[in-house]
Chain A
């Protein structure tokens, strides 16, 4: 198989892929979604009693907001799957670490 990485072919380091606009419609839609979810946070905070289920809702909304910020605003949806995976897979492991340490921390409640 012939490869094309001979020196002098072209400057791979300074290569910039062609970009094109995806329009502003999706961006504004994402903005209204984020604003709506934040307002929902605000309403739930005052309407629902403080329970573990309410905390779960807030964390779930946080992850939904993160999905839209990373996907639409940071253009992750339009990137190659290779790039998405090297960014997202370690982050998912971090979520596991957080869950584990919350559990461990909670076990200390009556030890202190």
Chain B
């Protein structure tokens, strides 16, 4: 059972010791701090992406950076159609949906309703698995078009090529002769690294959710007296959703 904090603790100074100055459990505080460090990891990747991209940009139109709308424009079962942003919006919708079912599971956990927790957690796991499937499809199409970690097969935008080559900057080749590419080299590599890192987080989130769901279904949390483990898994899952918001913004929208 949850052990109760003596009432006297409420009267003593917040930082005097013996109690959490954050009024959360040790586990939840550590999850928050882990998420902070994970936020730094993703930030460093996004900083790298942003600096690389901005070093190829004069304005949103005049850029050597390939236009995402011209590359990520595929949708399953719709061959040959130019459908930018549509598939990735579906992925975003799936992730937002699974975020909602996760938060409903947390809310059910507060009411100690085991049946509802398990049901919503199963929905969340299905959402996460669907997202991973979508990402696998997206990657396979991208790789099928010739994306590699060491070159840029997509060239540069037409407007960018015109302006930069007029200035004498656009038409030069980058890197080793055998990997010659017309556009900025790390375009595909950064996409693979950032979305791959995010996808790996989704994968670990799904694994964590499965473990937690089995524990809930077997009544571990009922015996423990609280469903805090669901909350901690939920924090992680929402963080993954949060990172996707920025990946979506920086890799597809902009």
Please classify the interface of chain B as helix (H, G, I), strand (E, B), loop, or mixed, using the class held by over half of its residues: helix
A79-B22, A82-B22 known; A38 vs B6 contact (CB < 8 Å): no
Query: By the criterion CB–CB under 8 Å, are B36 and A90 in contact?
Result: yes
Is B100 engaged at the interface, CB distance under 8 Å to the other chain? Answer: yes
Query: By the criterion CB–CB under 8 Å, are A98 and B242 in contact?
Result: no
CB distance from A110 to the nearest CB of B (A): 6
Instruction: List, in ascending order, chain B residues with CB within 8 A of A54's CB.
Output: 60
Query: By the criterion CB–CB under 8 Å, are A21 and B228 in contact?
Result: no
Instruction: List, in ascending order, chain B residues with CB within 8 A of A87's CB.
Output: 32, 35-36
Is B152 engaged at the interface, CB distance under 8 Å to the other chain? Answer: no
Please classify the interface of chain A as helix (H, G, I), strand (E, B), loop, or mixed, using the class held by over half of its residues: helix
**Candidates A20, A50, A94; contact of B43 at CB < 8 Å:** A94
Instruction: List, in ascending order, chain B residues with CB within 8 A of A47's CB.
Output: none
Query: By the criterion CB–CB under 8 Å, are A82 and B21 in contact?
Result: yes
A58-B254, A94-B40 known; A10 vs B29 contact (CB < 8 Å): no
A3-B17, A24-B107, A42-B89 known; A17 vs B238 contact (CB < 8 Å): no
Query: By the criterion CB–CB under 8 Å, are A19 and B18 in contact?
Result: no
How far is B131's CA from A31's CA once the two chains are assembled, in angstroms? 18
Mark the stretch among B51-59, B136-144, B195-203, B208-216 that contacts chain A. Answer: B51-59
Mark each residue of chain A from 72 to 112: 1 if its CB lies under 8 Å from any CB of chain B, else 0.
Answer: 11110001101100110011001001100111111011101
Is B104 engaged at the interface, CB distance under 8 Å to the other chain? Answer: yes
A sample of 15 inter-chain contacts (CB < 8 A) reads A13-B26, A20-B110, A35-B96, A45-B253, A52-B59, A52-B60, A55-B60, A59-B254, A62-B249, A73-B103, A74-B238, A79-B23, A94-B43, A98-B46, A98-B50
Residues of chain B having any CB pair with chain A under 8 Å: 2-6, 8-9, 12-14, 16-26, 29, 32-33, 35-36, 39-40, 43, 46-47, 50-61, 84-85, 89, 92-93, 96, 99-100, 102-104, 107, 110-111, 167, 169, 226, 228, 231, 234-235, 238-239, 241-242, 245-246, 248-249, 253-254
